[in-house]
Chain A
Amino acid sequence: DAGITQSPRHKVTETGTPVTLRCHQTENHRYMYWYRQDPGHGLRLIHYSYGVKDTDKGEVSDGYSVSRSKTEDFLLTLESATSSQTSVYFCAISESWVDNEQFFGPGTRLTVL
């Protein structure tokens, strides 16, 4: 398995509070991604990174921000959590744009009350 960890694995928080999810990789891959998975929607891309300090928006980026200060870490922040952000969040990494095969972390289940 690709060396990807996510923390926390589970979190319950209240509406309006800030939340940061962490993705850590030991593979030294250039590309990192954050997705959310919701019933009936499959996975949707939130933000991605193509290098340290290089990030861009995905399909559902509103309400989320990201940072990548080191190759191995990619942080996803919900500045003010809302109930619509209750979801399972997956981080993914890929080494090469040639085939862009993405490997996924174990996921974080976030509940916003």
Chain B
Amino acid sequence: DGGITQSPKYLFRKEGQNVTLSCEQNLNHDAMYWYRQDPGQGLRLIYYSQIVNDFQKGDIAEGYSVSREKKESFPLTVTSAQKNPTAFYLCATGGGTEAFFGQGTRLTVV
């Protein structure tokens, strides 16, 4: 099956713990993105990567970290420094000027 796979769909963590969200793609797209979605705030860009071993901060990178060791994979770590981590996280890929999304991971920190 071609596409973008985010896992898990739902994730619960205790406050103060780091957590890593997975994003894998088999579309052979160079660009990958992480967005955060909160009610009434649209999609905000956390990090993006145009090529393996390179990534750039988006608009709200504080408290997050990423890696891009393989073209297919772009995991996002939500660290304990992120003050309000409960949100819906969306991974996307891009082969040109368009972005294609995974199904999302809903992270709840209790």
Do A and B interact? no
